[in-house]
Amino acid sequence: MIGDQTKPEDFKNERGGDHSHIKGWGIDRDPKNDPTYPMKHRTDEEIEGYTWERPEQQPVNIEVLHSVERPNIPAVFGTAQPPEGLSGAIRRFAFKYSESSYGRWLPLVMADRIGEIEGIVDDLKKGHIPNLFAEHGLKSEWKYNRKKFVLKSAVTAAALAGVLLFLTRDKKD
Amino acid sequence: MLAMNYRGPFRIRADRDRPFPEIEHPEDAIVKVTRSCICGSDLHLYHGLVPDTRVGTTFGHEFIGEVVDVGSSVTKVKVGDQVMVPFNIACGKCAFCKQEMYGMCHEANPQSTAAGGIFGYSHTTGGYHGGQAEYVRVPYANVGPTVIPDWMDPDDAVLLTDVVPTGYQAAEMGGIQEGDTVVVFGAGPIGIMAAKSAWLFGAGRVIVIDKLDYRLEFVKDFAQCEVYNFTALEDPVVFIKKITDSLGADVCIDAVGAEAAGDTMNTMLGRKLLMQGGSTTALHWAINSVKKGGIVSIVGVYGPIDALVPIGNVVNKGITIRASQASVKRLLPKMIEHVKSGTIKPKEMITHRIPLEEVAEGYHIFSNKLDNCIKTVLIPPSA
C-alpha cells in the first residue's frame, strides 16, 4: 500500500495512455454525456403532470399509510406488515407529516424500536422463545472471529455478573 | 414457505411458516426464487438505519427465479420462464418510467414520493416482501422481469438485478470522458463494478479507496485499478490531490453510502445516534477530492433524513452532483451484452454461497466482513 509519504511527482495522470490490456476499454464512451443524460430520457410527460394512463388499482384490503405529498395510493403497493399495536399508532402519527419533516422520520425510528419489542412479545405469545445466538448469526463469529467472540463473551459475562451482584447485594451493609 | 424474517437490528432468522405470496393485482407474477443475494444496502436495514423497517418483513431485492403463476394481464412472461427481476418495481406507464427512470416509478410506493418501489427494502420503499425467500410476489410483471438467456450462468444473472447495473450507472453518471481520472470510494461489490465500468467509458486512470485490504486486493485484480487503504493515509483528500497533479480527480464516485467509516463525528451522528441520514464521510471526501468543475456520482444509499455535506464547497468548486437508484431495466440489455462478450464477469465477485436456512449467518459474515466476504448468494432449499 502507498502511504501519505507519496510525492506528487511519483504520479502522472494518463490522458492518451495505452489501455489495450483492459478488455472493453472505451467501448461505452460518450462525449455527449452531459449532466442531464443518461438519467433522463426527456419527454413531455412531466409537463402534462399527473395525467398518465394509470395501471389498474390493486384492491386496498389492508391499511396502507401513504405520504401526504401524494393525492392517492399508487396502483400497486406492498402488503407486508400493516401497522398495528403501539408502533402502528406511532406510524399513523408520523404519516401526518411530509417527507421533509423530522415529524415524519423520528417517530418512525421510534416505532421501529417499539416494533422490535412487540415482535418479542408476539413470539412469546406463540410459544416461540427467540434464539438470540442464532438470530445474531454468532455461529459464524465463533467460526471466523473466535478471538473477538471470546473477548465479547467475557466482557458481557463480567457485566452481567456485576449487575447481578449489585442487585443481590445485602442492603443493610 | 421458508423465508427470511427480520426481528430487529442485527436479529434475523429463517422461518418455515411464512405465508405464500398471492396474486394481488392482474399484472403480478409469483416467482419461485432460485438465487438471491445479500446486498450492501441490505445491511442498512439489518443495522436498523432505515426508518419504517417493520419487524416481520422479508428482505431481498436481488434475486432470480422461475415464474410459477401469473395474473390475468401478464403477457410478457409465462409460467416456467427463468427470469431475473430488477430491484426496481416499475409500472412502465408513469412520467418517470417513460423517461426510463425506472428507479423512480410513481405507481409503486405509497409511503414515500422520493423513493420508488423496491423489493424487501422497508416500507419507505413500498412495503414489499423481498426475495430472500422460496417464493416472492413480483408486481408489474410485464415491465421488470427479464427472461434469462439460455447461455447465461445463474450466478451472473442474479448479479445483473442490482449490483452490476448500479456500479455501471455510477460510472455512467460520472460523465467520464476519455482519459479522465476517476476515484471510487468503497471497494464493496458496487465500488468494484463502478471501477470496472469506469474503464468502459474510457477513463485514463481508476483509483479505489477503502479500508479493507482484502477487498482492495480483489478490486485491483478484478478491475485493474490503483488501490489505496485510507487508514494508512493521514488525510485521504490531501493524498488524492497529491496523486492527481494537485488539482483533484475529474470524477469521484461515492459507492459507500450511509455506513462510511473514517470520520468519528460522522460515524457518531450517522451510524450510532441516527441523527442524520447516515455517515457522509465518503461523500465529504468525494466532494473535496474532485477537481473544480468535476462530477460527483452518488450510488451509495442514504436514509431519508438530513445529512451533513460540505455544500459550500460544491458551490465554490462548481461541482455537478449526479445521483440515482440504478435504472436496471434500462441498462439490462447492455449488461447482458457485456456479460456475453466477457467484458464483465460478475460471478467472480461471489465469495459465499449459503443455504437460505442459514441467512442469519450470511448477514453476520457480510456485516462483519468475516472470511474475506465480498458477495453472498443465498440458495433456497427448493432451488
What is the DSSP annotation of B214-259?
Answer: HHHHHHHHHS--EEEEGGG-S-HHHHHHHHTTTT-EEEEEE---TB
Three-state secondary structure along A16-40?
CCCCCCCCCCCCCCCCCCCCCCCCC
Tell me which residue in B110, B197, B200 faces A65 most closely, judged by beta carbons.
Answer: B110
User: For residue B43, which residues of chain A lie inside 8 Å, CB to CB?
Assistant: none
Please give, rounded to a whole number of angstroms, the shortest distance from the CA of B101 to a CA of chain A: 6
**B54 at interface of A, judged by CB pairs closer than 8 A:** yes
Q: Which of residues 313-372 of B touch A (CB under 8 A)?
A: 320, 322, 324, 327, 330, 334, 338, 341-344, 360-365, 368, 370-371
ipTM of this predicted structure: 0.89
Q: How confident is the model at residue B246 (pLDDT cuts 50, 70, 90)?
A: confident
Q: What percent of chain B has pLDDT over 70?
A: 100
Top residue of B59, B97, B182, B364 to mutate, by most chain A CBs within 10 Å, is B364
Please give, rounded to a whole number of angstroms, the shortest distance from the CA of A172 to a CA of chain B: 40
Decide if B117 contacts B92 (C-beta within 8 A).
Answer: no
Decide if B352 contacts B375 (C-beta within 8 A).
Answer: yes
Please give, rounded to a whole number of angstroms, the shortest distance from the CA of B382 to a CA of chain A: 22
For B96, residues 6+ apart whose C-beta sits below 8 A from its C-beta are: B102, B104, B105, B106, B116
User: Using the beta-carbon criterion (under 8 Å), do A25 and B199 form an inter-chain contact?
Assistant: yes
* Sign of the torsion angle spanned by Cα atoms B19, B22, B28, B32: positive
Top residue of A58, A72, A76, A97 to mutate, by most chain B CBs within 10 Å, is A76
- Identify each DSSP E strand in A49-161 by its residue range: none
> For position B104, what pLDDT does the model report?
94
Q: Of the candidates B46, B61, B36, which has an alpha carbon nearest to the alpha carbon of residue B375?
A: B36
Top residue of A20, A99, A135 to mutate, by most chain B CBs within 10 Å, is A135
What span, in angstroms and rounded, lies between the C-alpha atoms of B159 and B54?
26
> For position A45, what pLDDT does the model report?
72
Tell me the average pLDDT across B325-346.
97
Query: Domain-by-domain residue ranges, chain B?
Result: 3-162+327-379, 163-323
Q: Which of residues 60-99 of A touch B (CB under 8 A)?
A: 64-67, 69-70, 73-81, 87, 91, 95, 99
Nearest chain B residue to A128, by CA: B15
What span, in angstroms and rounded, lies between the C-alpha atoms of B156 and B112?
32
How many CB atoms are located within 10 Å of the residue B7 CB?
A: 22
Tell me the average pLDDT across B348-352.
98
How many CB atoms are located within 10 Å of the residue B233 CB?
A: 21
User: For residue A152, which residues of chain B lie inside 8 Å, CB to CB?
Assistant: none
User: For residue B244, which residues of chain A lie inside 8 Å, CB to CB?
Assistant: 11, 13
User: Using the beta-carbon criterion (under 8 Å), do A14 and B126 form an inter-chain contact?
Assistant: no
**B176 at interface of A, judged by CB pairs closer than 8 A:** yes
Q: Is the pLDDT of residue B7 over 60?
A: yes
User: For residue B13, which residues of chain A lie inside 8 Å, CB to CB?
Assistant: 130-131, 134-135
Q: Of the candidates B144, B182, B212, which has an alpha carbon nearest to the alpha carbon of residue B373?
A: B212
pLDDT, mean over chain B: 96
Q: Of the candidates B326, B291, B292, B323, which has an alpha carbon nearest to the alpha carbon of residue B307?
A: B323
User: For residue A54, which residues of chain B lie inside 8 Å, CB to CB?
Assistant: 93-94, 107
Query: Domain-by-domain residue ranges, chain A?
Result: 64-129, 131-173
What span, in angstroms and rounded, lies between the C-alpha atoms of B224 and B217?
10
Residue range B52-107, pLDDT digits in tens: 999 999 999 999 999 999 999 999 999 999 999 999 999 999 999 999 999 999 99
> For position A51, what pLDDT does the model report?
84
Q: Of the candidates B147, B151, B161, B148, which has an alpha carbon nearest to the alpha carbon of residue B77?
A: B147
Please give, rounded to a whole number of angstroms, the shortest distance from the CA of A164 to a CA of chain B: 25
Decide if B7 contacts B48 (C-beta within 8 A).
Answer: no
> For position A8, what pLDDT does the model report?
60
* CATH class as words, domain B163-323: alpha beta
3-state secondary structure of B303: coil
> For position A154, what pLDDT does the model report?
93
Q: Which of residues 219-258 of B touch A (CB under 8 A)?
A: 224, 227-229, 232-235, 238-239, 242-246
User: For residue A48, which residues of chain B lie inside 8 Å, CB to CB?
Assistant: 95
3-state secondary structure of B120: coil
Nearest chain B residue to A19, by CA: B204
For each of chain A's 173 residues, which pLDDT tens digit applies?
555 665 666 666 666 788 888 999 999 988 777 665 555 677 777 777 788 999 999 999 999 999 999 999 999 999 999 999 999 999 999 999 999 999 999 999 999 999 999 999 999 999 999 999 999 999 999 999 999 999 989 999 999 999 999 988 876 65
CA dihedral B64, B66, B72, B74 (to 10 degrees): 50
CATH 3.30.470.10 fits B3-162+327-379, yes or no: no
Residue range B107-133, pLDDT digits in tens: 999 999 999 999 999 999 999 999 999
Tell me the average pLDDT across B195-213.
96
Instruction: Give the three cell numbers for residue B284.
Output: 465529504
3-state secondary structure of B336: helix
Q: Of the candidates B129, B27, B111, B116, which has an alpha carbon nearest to the alpha carbon of residue A64?
A: B111
Residue with cell 494518463: A14
Q: Of the candidates B173, B101, B191, B165, which has an alpha carbon nearest to the alpha carbon of residue B332?
A: B165
> For position A172, what pLDDT does the model report?
64
What span, in angstroms and rounded, lies between the C-alpha atoms of B349 and B376?
9
What span, in angstroms and rounded, lies between the C-alpha atoms of B28 and B93?
15
What is the DSSP annotation of B46-94?
Answer: HTT-STT--TT------EEEEEEEE-TT--SS-TT-EEEE-SEE--S-S
